[in-house]
A = this chain, B = another copy of it.
């Protein structure tokens, strides 16, 4: 029977990444595709210990319904961490626990976007944010970026062109997918522009604590003097994603709207999951865990960059991130990363083509590589094979580029 769907469903597509990730389940596949943290580093035994205590001491409570806002102790611990780590002046009542940062994105679309409104974002930007916002039928205004973040002149120009910009979405630290980090100057200039136009800003910060080198920079939320920034934080990348516990921090009036929207979306996040993280933070040293993650990911990134330098053919540009999970590759114009992927999968190596990270499409010559999920030897082997595939592709292209010239001279 033919059932009529809402207009927004025309825009929703299955995530290309998740389809590729299904291929990566094949035995022996080297996956540089997903954004998975290193599962072998999850503190499983300590989580088991904490869980045992919780179920013994407050089992009936953690299996029951709990407040939409989230566990009070967890919100206090998060507020403390935000203050100490990032200089963000937020208390427990500014925080809402969410079911993954993905929910923070969905709720942000719900709060701010009517059909035909516009979202400002980096070009490229996080695919999951594009998908979340698409359900609210906005236009996406991509702002050009360079190694320091959004280019302010382009930002100003685009705002001048579009009267209905209702939200900005940015990832200033170790961006997904590029791995780039915004300079302090750009952060300040960006916030000035946002304040002038009263545009709320969703600052997505899943990787901020995973810095391998260089000095930490203050998040936008710490620089925000107008209550415009909604900060999204998560335990998915510094602890584990399977519990689906993340948070957002926003000015009280905004946070209240988020609480209402979350009531309608899932009532509250897992009561047990919230307590597991709160008790873990009380009992163990998450910072020591993070230090291990940092060191591991730094080494994996090193191996990736070193092998890329040794095996990639000339004419390929890529970022050198100071933290996070990803780096970004630009192949020569005219090379199609999806075709490269098809050849690469045959060699047992998966990555994600870059085009889906551009909400308005294009940039078929880009791709994203993840360095958090595989051990060093697999990364080295995977990049070697990818380098081989790319060498073949570019050689073929060079031959094709010359062919017409040769043909012309023969014919002429």
Contact = CB atoms under 8 A, between A and B. Distances in A.
Contacts of A113: 6
Contact of A241 (B48, B65, B100, B242): B65
A23 interface: no
A239 B103 CA distance: 25
Q: Which of A55, A66, A134, A254 has the most CB of B within 10 A?
A: A55
Contacts of A65: 34, 36, 236, 241-242
A259 B13 CA distance: 10
A212 B132 CA distance: 42
A262 to B, nearest CB: 10
Interface stretch (A37-45, A76-84, A339-347): A37-45
A16 to B, nearest CB: 11
Contact of A261 (B1, B12, B61, B68): B12
Contact of A264 (B51, B60, B106): B106
A47 B68 contact: no
A64 interface: yes
A233 to B, nearest CB: 16
B48 A63 contact: no
Contacts of A132: 264-265
A168 B45 CA distance: 47
Contacts of A236: 65
Contacts of A117: 6
A228 interface: yes
Interface residues of A, number: 87
A260 B14 contact: yes
A306 interface: no
Contact of A44 (B37, B47, B59, B268): B59
Contact of A66 (B103, B200, B242): B242
A204 to B, nearest CB: 14
A52 interface: yes
Contact of A272 (B4, B131, B228, B273): B273
Nearest to A4: B166
Given A8-B110, A242-B65, A48 B55 contact: yes
A267 interface: yes
A385 interface: no
Given A6-B112, A273-B272, A64 B36 contact: yes
A128 B360 CA distance: 36
A319 interface: no
Given A103-B266, A264-B128, A266-B106, A14 B242 contact: no
Given A1-B226, A198-B3, A273-B270, A264 B63 contact: no
Contacts of A60: 39-40, 42, 44
Interface string A252-289: 00101101110111111111110000000000000000
Interface string A206-239: 0000000000000000000011100000001000
A157 to B, nearest CB: 22
Nearest to A8: B110
B244 A266 contact: yes
B47 A64 contact: no
A239 to B, nearest CB: 8
Given A3-B228, A6-B112, A261 B198 contact: no
Contacts of A7: 114
Given A4-B198, A12-B257, 16 more contacts: A3-B198, A4-B112, A4-B166, A5-B112, A37-B64, A39-B61, A63-B241, A64-B240, A99-B244, A106-B264, A106-B266, A110-B135, A135-B264, A243-B270, A244-B269, A244-B271
